[in-house]
Amino acid sequence: MYLRRVWFKHTLLGLLAVVVLVAAGMFWIRYFNPFRVKPADIDTKDWILFVSDRSGNPDLWVIRPDGSGLRQITTDPSAETDPAWSPDGRLIAFISDRDNHIPQLFYADPEGRRIQQLTVSVGAKEKPQFLPDGKHIIFLLQGQVLLVDIEGGEAEKILPPFELEQQWRNTFGGSALFREPTYDPEKRIVYAVQRTEGGEALVRYRQDGADHQREEKGTEEAQHAHAPGAQKLPEPIIGGQEVHIALSPDGTQLAITVMGNSQIGHAVALYNLVTETIQPLWRGQGDLAPGAVVWAPEGTHLAFEMWRIKGEERDRAGIGVMGIGDPEPRLIVPGNAITPTWSQGGTSLVYVKFREDGKRDLWIVGADGSDARRLTDGTGDNYAPAWSPHPGGQK
């Protein structure tokens, strides 16, 4: 009996030691993982990252502007979508459903040799974007805005905040849905497009609830404004039937495109994040309306989808380009074209064009509308292009 008790005691202690070691190992891997993906010391200049199902399922591929260098980056039998570059072009973020068929956030080196999962929660993740610091990724989880540090830690929901979840539900009659978020981690301000009862609106939410003047003064009143009780609902800035936004390269302005505003109709404008004022750039003429918008790297031009709106009907009109001081945009690519993205030098754009079979190809065109040509060869469905911001020649 004595030997049995000794054996049982030592067995129990051994099992406890194993549990402790496993838990410690999991903690160490999660927060101090030496195998964590490191930024790649390779020149990704003129790498165009995109999604293609030419291998049988959606995977990440790269191609160069002259059509050379076509290469598959991910080879998992699951679906990989929504690729995005880090600001220095040395990491990529994407969505994959390889974990129990639930779309999760991953990041990797640009060659896909080392891949790491960043989220594990239920619910579909989508549209990841690196913040300018290159250390955080903002993404959507079923219309909610979350932020995660690529060095480890749990994702933080920044819109709507947990503390105000019930208040939001009571105010909006359910879960508020957002897209195209941008976030300033220092000021703790998030801008996003929010779905509303009458369409969409650009909104601003200050996580600490402080107004602009109090933040600047840094007084005792400002400290009081940061208290949880001072938090409030998002502030609408401008709305319409459809709204799109994009953060400028220097982080000081938002480009805004609006369809169907009750007062100004269709328009392109800039929102100054410092003065919190709107500068109109162009008011749509006739049935032309602007859609999804992107900045040129030097911050002097915009490119956006163009649409023709006739009553309740809308058709794709092509790709428009507009200088910040121009009186109106130029339609550089007419027809069934979407999702423009700029080259690093701002001299070219890659975009997606639909084929007669309903699938898509990547095309490239000069910023002045010259030399439009197809990049992909008509094999499979090719979409979601992202041009590397890597300046080249850096190690």
Least confident range from 20-29, 130-139, 242-251, 300-309: namely: 20-29
**Residue 142: what are its φ and ψ, rounded to 5°?**
50, 50
Tell me: pLDDT of 348 over 70: yes
pLDDT (0 to 100) of residue 175: 62
In a domain, 20, yes or no: yes
Tell me: pLDDT of 87 over 50: yes
Alpha carbon distance 331, 321 (integer Å): 7
In a domain, 19, yes or no: yes
Tell me: pLDDT of 89 over 60: yes
What is the dihedral angle through the alpha carbons of 270, 273, 275, 281, rounded to the nearest 10 degrees? 0
Least confident range from 173-182, 233-242, 385-394: namely: 385-394
Alpha carbon distance 13, 162 (integer Å): 40
- Confidence class for position 225, pLDDT limits 50, 70, 90: very low
In a domain, 16, yes or no: yes
Alpha carbon distance 233, 44 (integer Å): 42
Write down the mean pLDDT value for the chain: 85
Which residues does residue 178 pair with via DSSP β-bridges, in sequence order? 194
Question: What is the amino acid identity at position 56?
Answer: G
In a domain, 14, yes or no: yes
Would you give the end-to-end CA distance of the chain in angstroms? 68
**347: enclosing H helix or E strand:** none
Token readout for 371 is: 């030399």
In a domain, 262, yes or no: no
CB 323 within 8 A of CB 338: no
Tell me the residue ranges of DSSP E strands in 284-347: 288-295, 301-310, 313-323, 330-334, 337-342
pLDDT (0 to 100) of residue 394: 41
Choice between 298 and 4, residue whose per-residue pLDDT is larger = 298
In a domain, 49, yes or no: no
User: Domain limits at 25?
Assistant: 1-34
- Confidence class for position 230, pLDDT limits 50, 70, 90: very low
- Give the pLDDT mean for 320-339: 96
Choice between 225 and 78, residue whose per-residue pLDDT is larger = 78
Choice between 297 and 225, residue whose per-residue pLDDT is larger = 297
* pLDDT tens digits for range 2-58: 556 655 666 666 666 554 454 444 444 444 444 456 555 677 889 999 999 999 999
* pLDDT tens digits for range 134-193: 999 999 998 899 999 998 878 999 988 777 777 777 777 666 789 999 999 888 999 999
Alpha carbon distance 123, 141 (integer Å): 6
Question: What is the amino acid identity at position 362?
Answer: L
Choice between 393 and 82, residue whose per-residue pLDDT is larger = 82
Which residues does residue 106 pair with via DSSP β-bridges, in sequence order? 94, 117
Domain count, the chain: 1
In a domain, 267, yes or no: no
In a domain, 28, yes or no: yes
